[in-house]
Every structure is written in structure tokens, then in C-alpha cells.
Chains A and B, each alone.
Chain A
């Protein structure tokens, strides 16, 4: 025993020595690097600010091209090296920079970006959104650079989107990311399988409320055993629009009062419960893992779908059958739609000006955008007409909504020639959420929101799929939420909303 203790002391001493050595090494190594990078940063900032930014990018040929890294939410596409090389010819000529995409598999994106940010990695641009690599959280935590001043140097980019849309991208009053210009209007809807619609002579135009669906679904249930009438609940369809803020709280923009949304959808939940008991849903509606194969096999008659021009064609391509759409609410441009895809510049970027110049170039240069989206003509696609292409199987492709201005995109087979004009019309006619500029700062109630989030994850799938009695679930949910600070968060949202409204006037 005593012997063991002695060797333990020796070991402890060893720990310390090794520790000292290690910290000594790292300290020495880091110091000069930091100095160098700081000097570098200030230098580049100086040169940049002295230099007028022009469209052509009037760089002296002696200056080294700036290397920019851009994290994208995509696996590496085929032929990526060749495409990037070709793109870099354009980028270097126009703005004297080179681009390196860092491809991250979608499933790893959150984790990878968290790591990049918490380790202080130097990168320039990253794809960010409300649903992955959270834009508002990261901006709040200081991961991104505020772009307000820089954006003034790029009137084309600034003018690409309406002022209200830029407002939607604001976090605590500042813009931290450039929204990709695409479909901004968010309109809910439901697709119905066309062959069954024809077979049972259903008139989609006659569906004007949630209850109108019941008789339609009953026909499918009676006539088509093995086919689920609808994939999952759509309790909020045809309900009034509320501008959602955080957790389950939303703003009623008519009265500017904060509401708790399950209260607004109670009727919808009750009808959903009725549907569940009638067997309109797949039996494992809340735990179904492989929805795509079920839909492809024709076992699902209808499903929620966000409406946009060309939606039916896109659905036919993925599902393999024709669909008819039923629109279930107004088209709205809200904060969620604006922040559904953005690109932000990292706070660690050494060349923020160049990075924004690159985003500007990708958004305004049609040739470059289509090159990065579809690849090289002849290798990755063939041109059918001036603006229409036919992709080759198994070739380069990247989602355009992830990095650029979709209104510059070529059209694909199955899409209307004027699909982007139609999108523009929808965008322009959509109602802009009056609360688009309001951002909730969750710092004062972070603990409560964490608890509420966990509670919601337990009850919402039950409510929205009608798995259990609605009144009972709603009261159990509310009771638990009250214990977790429901009222405190509600009051905080209302307080911040009132303050924001006062500042607006």
C-alpha cells in the first residue's frame, strides 16, 4: 500500500513536469503566430480601406490574390475541382481572389461549424440558416461580422433585396448575413395524389377549410385500403397568420399581443384527433422513419408542402406521380423565410471586404452562379436553349439556394421557362410580416426556453398528430410549461415587443 502511494507521488510529479513542458511549448508557439496574424489583419484592412471597391476590382497585378474559404452545406459534388478551377479564373479576374469551397456533409454540418467556431478557426464565409448552423444563435454569440457598413459599398447587392427583407435578417439591429435571393414567400399547402383525386372525383377547389378535408379523406380511407389519407397532421392549415417568435409564442400582428399558439390551433388539433381515430394517418405517424419510400410506393394520398412555382414538377420528379395542390394559407414573407438560407462572414475572417465582394460577385454574375450551380457545359450539362439546360446523369450539381441568386439560374427540365418570373411575382405580391424586423433576445430567459423546448418535443408531436385526447394533452402541456417558466417567457416577449414597437415609432 505505502509503495503504491509512493509511486503515485512520483507519477503526480511526472504529470506536473510533462504539463509544464506542454504548456511551455504551446505558449511559445502561439505567440509569434498571433502577432503575425494580427499584423497581417491590420495590414490587409489598411490596404483594403485605402482602395476604392469597384465593379471590376481594379487590383494591381503585383498583389497576391486573396484566398477565401467558404463552408457549404453539401457533400463534395462530382467534378468539383474542375468547376472550382474554372470559377476561380472568373473570380480572380474580377476581384483578384480565389475561392475554396469547404464541403461538409449535411448531417455533419452543425457539429463541424460548432467546432470551427469554438476553436476560432479562420474562415471567410459560411452557409447559415434558421434550421441548420443557427444564424441567430451564432450571430448572438459573436461568430459573425456585422455587415451594415460593408454592404454600403455594394449597392447592387444591397438593392437585390427589399429593405424589409434586409430587416428580416437583422439580429439585435445589425445585419450578419446576406440572404440568398430565391423564393421568399412562405405559403402553406397540401398536395393530393392526382390519380386518386380523379378516381374519386374530388374537387380540390372546393376545399376551403380544414373540415372540408374530412370527407375527402373518408373517401380514400373507404376506397383504398392500405393507403394513408394524409402523412401527418396539418392543424394550423387555414388558421389566421401569427408571426412566430420563440418557443410556441407568436405575435398577433393585429393587436400586437403575444399569443400562445396551441390556444389558436385547438380546433385544428381536435379535428386532427378525429382523423387519427378514423385512421387517416399511417399507424406510426409520429415515429415513421422512411417516409420517402412509403410515398413513392403510393401509400400516402396527401402531405403538407410549401407552395412555390414549379412545385408540382419538382414533386413529380421526387415522388414519381402527378399531384394537385391545395393552398391552405396566405403567402407571407417573414423572418423565418428570410433566414431560411443566408451566407455570413466569419468574425475570424482576415478579408471581410473581399469575402463580401465575392458574395456580391456570385449574386450578380450569371455565368459564375450557373457554373457553381450546374458545373461546366458539355461535361456536366448540355444547353438546350439559351436559358434551359439538361443535366447529365451523375454529374456536378450544387443547390443554388445555398449560395447565390436563384433568379439568375438556368431552368431545368420540368420547370416552366418563366418559373423565376412567377417566383418574383409571388415574392412581390406576398404579404410582408409586419413584425419581420423584431428579434427576440433570449438571453434573459435561456434556462426557461431550454426547459420549454424539451417539454414541447414531448407534447407537440402528440397534439399535431392527434395521438391522445386534445383537452387532456393541452392542459398537461400547459401545466408543465407553467412549472418551467411559461409566464416569464411570455412576459419577456411582450416586453421586448413593446420596446421594439416604441422604438419603431
Chain B
């Protein structure tokens, strides 16, 4: 066993050396800090340090699991993330397929840049752009609504509207990034397939269904599995900044992350916030394993590991 390992090691030493920087990086920044997870079970005190602080068992987890809002938090977090995963998948793949049909290089670059740009904006910036549309005093949307004779809406007090605003904003911001990845995968398909299909008289729709999409499945599954791993951690910027932290919107905008922020900014309790983070990571990890197992059952080649 050991000699086999050594042989393997010697044979691949240059390739392994290439991975070394990343291995060190992951070890230092992802694995080493995991020891810090023990503060989730401690009552952390500055003067005693992480190891010296007293153990408190699971008490740091209580504030999250005993919360009267727990149902709302889980529903919103999972619900929105599920919607986000589906909508951005459909939107990105569609856009990638459309981009692939473009023949003009110039137009292609222009579309890509325009759609990719929002990805670089921070949610804080996006929030103020939305505010310019939605605020009740000078918001553009309300001016338009008034122009066609309807009465203006105070969007930041209208909880149901945010069930649509949030996914829309998310697609707008994410679509470019996803589309580029799928577009790159499309470029990787051997053009011979497309040519053969054309010669056989397949139409565009048939080509998409029988060639393009099946070639994208591995990438789609991998990205979706990874996204499901994060399903318990909502994008804090989106849910906190975009609704401008309006208290009347919490019914539809409150997610686990914003709840933790609201509950703990005053307390600044490191133990409790670690407990919440650990819970989310653990659930995400289990989900990844679960989904991967399911994918493996259906088609082993598409699974992540």
C-alpha cells in the first residue's frame, strides 16, 4: 500500500507540485480555522482566549432553534434559494444557448459585457439603484404608476411585492456570470455533432434538445449540487440591503442570515454567531452529500464525487 503510494507520488510529482500552492491555501484558510468552530460550544471571553473559555454545551444553539420565527426563517431561506437556483439555471442556460447562436463576434462581446456587469456591483450599490426606482417620494416607478393614473405604492411597506422583487434582482445580477460558464461549456462541444445533425436535417430546437442540453448536463448538475450546498446561507447583501432593512417587510425578506444579524449585532456574541454558522455549514454539507448520492443513483458520471 505504502510502496504503491510512493510510486504513485513519484510518478506524478510534478503534477502534485502544481497543486501544492492551492493545497496550502486551502489548508491554511479553510481547514485551520475549523478549529475555531469550538467557540460555538463555549462562552467566549477575551481574556481567557478560545481554549481557556468555559464550555457551555449546546446552549449557544438555542437562540436559533428556539426562535418563534424559526419557521419563517427556514421557509424564506429555503424557498428563495430554491427559486434562485431554478430561475438562474433556466435563465443562464437559455441566454447561453442564445449567445451560441450569435454569429457576430462584436455583438456577442457587447451582450456578454452588458449582462456580466451587474455581477461586479455590490448589493449596496444595487440597493440604492432599486431605491431610486422604488422610494415613495421620488422613485421613478411611482412616477410612472402615477402617470398612468394608478395610485402610488409604498414599496418598502408592501411585503408581498418583495416575493417578486428579490428573485428579479437576483436574476438580473447573476445571469451574466452563469451564462458565461454555460457558454464556455457549449464552446467545448465538438462542432462535428452539430454539422452531422444539420446534414441529417435536424432543426434548431432538435439540435438544442438532443445535442446542446445533454452536453451541458454534467456542468448543470455540478453547479446545482454546489448551489444546494449553500441553500441554508442566504445572500446577506441581497436580503438585508435591497429591502433597506425595512421592518414591515420582514415577513417576506427575513432569512436566517438577517435574523442572526438582527439578534446578535447588539450582543456581539461570538459563540452564538459561530453556533449559527456551524449549523448552516453542517446542514449544507449534509445536503451536498444527499443530493450527490441521488445524482449518483441516476447517473454516476454526472456526480461530483
A-side residues, CB < 8 A to B, are 6-7, 9-11, 13-15, 18-19, 22, 110, 114, 117-118, 120, 134, 137-138, 141-143, 282-284, 286-287, 289, 347, 443, 446-451, 453-455, 457-462, 467-468, 480, 483-485
Contacts and interface: CB of A to CB of B under 8 A. Distances in A.
Contact of B9 (A10, A22, A114, A287): A10
Contacts of B67: 451, 454, 484
Which of B32, B247, B268: most chain A CB closer than 10 A?
A: B247
A283 B62 CA distance: 38
A451 B66 contact: yes
A143 B45 CA distance: 8
A284 B66 contact: no
10 contacts: A10-B5, A10-B9, A22-B28, A110-B268, A117-B46, A286-B247, A446-B63, A454-B263, A460-B247, A461-B248
Given A289-B131, A467-B157, A9 B5 contact: yes
B44 A454 contact: no
Interface string B1-43: 0001100110010001001100110011001100000000001
Q: Chain B: interface secondary structure? A: helix
Contacts of A14: 16, 20, 23
Contact of A462 (B63, B248, B262): B248
B57 interface: no
B195 interface: no
B103 interface: no
B122 interface: no
Interface in B37-96: 43-49, 59-60, 62-63, 66-69
Contact of B262 (A6, A120, A454, A467): A454
B111 to A, nearest CB: 33
B264 interface: yes
B63 A447 contact: yes
B136 interface: yes
Contacts of B248: 286, 461-462, 467-468
Given A11-B23, A283-B136, A446-B267, A454 B69 contact: yes
What interface size band does chain B fall in? 35 or more
B45 A284 contact: no
Contacts of A455: 68-69
B279 interface: no
B194 interface: no
Which 10 pairs from chain A and chain B are nearest by CB?
A142-B47, A483-B68, A454-B263, A450-B63, A447-B63, A450-B263, A143-B46, A447-B62, A454-B262, A461-B247
Which of A117, A446, A447: most chain B CB closer than 10 A?
A: A447
A484 B66 CA distance: 7
Q: Chain A: interface secondary structure? A: helix
A18 B23 contact: yes
A447 B156 contact: no
A457 to B, nearest CB: 5
B5 A458 contact: no
Contacts of A120: 46, 49
Which of B60, B154, B157: most chain A CB closer than 10 A?
A: B157
Interface of B: 4-5, 8-9, 12, 16, 19-20, 23-24, 27-28, 31-32, 43-49, 59-60, 62-63, 66-69, 131, 135-137, 154, 156-157, 244-248, 250, 254, 259, 262-264, 266-270, 272
Contacts of B4: 6
Contacts of B59: 447
A205 B44 CA distance: 53
B27 A18 contact: yes
A229 to B, nearest CB: 16
B66 to A, nearest CB: 7
Contacts of A467: 157, 248
B89 to A, nearest CB: 27
Contacts of A9: 5
A457 B27 contact: no
Given A142-B47, A286-B246, A118 B267 contact: no
Contact of B156 (A287, A468, A480, A485): A287
Given A284-B154, A451-B66, A6 B267 contact: no
B27 A450 contact: no
Contacts of A142: 45-48
